Amino acid sequence: MKTTYTIKEVAEMFDLSVSTLHYYDKQGLLPFVDKNDVGYRTFTPSDLNFIHTICCLKDTGMPIKTIKTYISLCMQGADTIPERRALLNAHRDAVVAKQARLEESLQEIDEKLNRYTDPAARGLIESEIEFVTAEKSAHHLANPFVTQ
């Protein structure tokens, strides 16, 4: 097993660009990464665990500033476990709420797709257009549909 990795190797492992890793470093997300004798960042297997967590938090919408707080708490040791737990619980709640909104949106998309695959789709859509056109007309509003 390899014991250290270059920034390019790490970027490839996590499907990130090298510039993204440089950006994360400049933002203070990689205080655990050291540089070798010639000044190149050198990543160890334990660094990869942190990068995995950073990617997870970023992918789930955690702001860079909050990720930095989390990493800083990690670097302070076990005494910060309660703060880390509170931060991650709050983030988890936000992720669960976003999942619920996405599920609702996905249901709406599925309903539209079902309508469009229905053999009577054309008639259903034409009926909706007639209804909306009449509604707009009753309120002296412009017809929003393109007439052909």
Please give the pLDDT value at position 146: 84
| pLDDT of 2 over the 90 cut | no
Residues 78 and 135 in one domain: no
Tell me phi and psi for residue 123, to 5 degrees: -65, -40
Give the pLDDT score at 1.
Answer: 65
Same domain, 51 and 100: yes
pTM comes to 0.81
Q: Indicate whether 104 and 93 sit together in one domain.
A: yes
pLDDT at 6: 95
SS3 content of the chain, % helix, strand, coil (to 5): 70, 5, 30
Give residue-wise pLDDT tens across range 27-84: 999 999 999 999 999 999 999 999 999 999 999 999 999 999 999 999 999 999 999 9
The distance in angstroms from the start CA to the end CA of the chain is: 67
For residue 2, tell me if it sits in a domain: no
My answer on whether 47 and 64 are in the same domain is: yes
- Over residues 21-33, the pLDDT tens digits come to 999 999 999 999 9
Beta carbons of 50 and 75 less than 8 angstroms apart: no
Question: What percentage of the chain carries pLDDT values higher than 70?
Answer: 98
- Shared domain for 50 and 99, answered yes or no, is yes
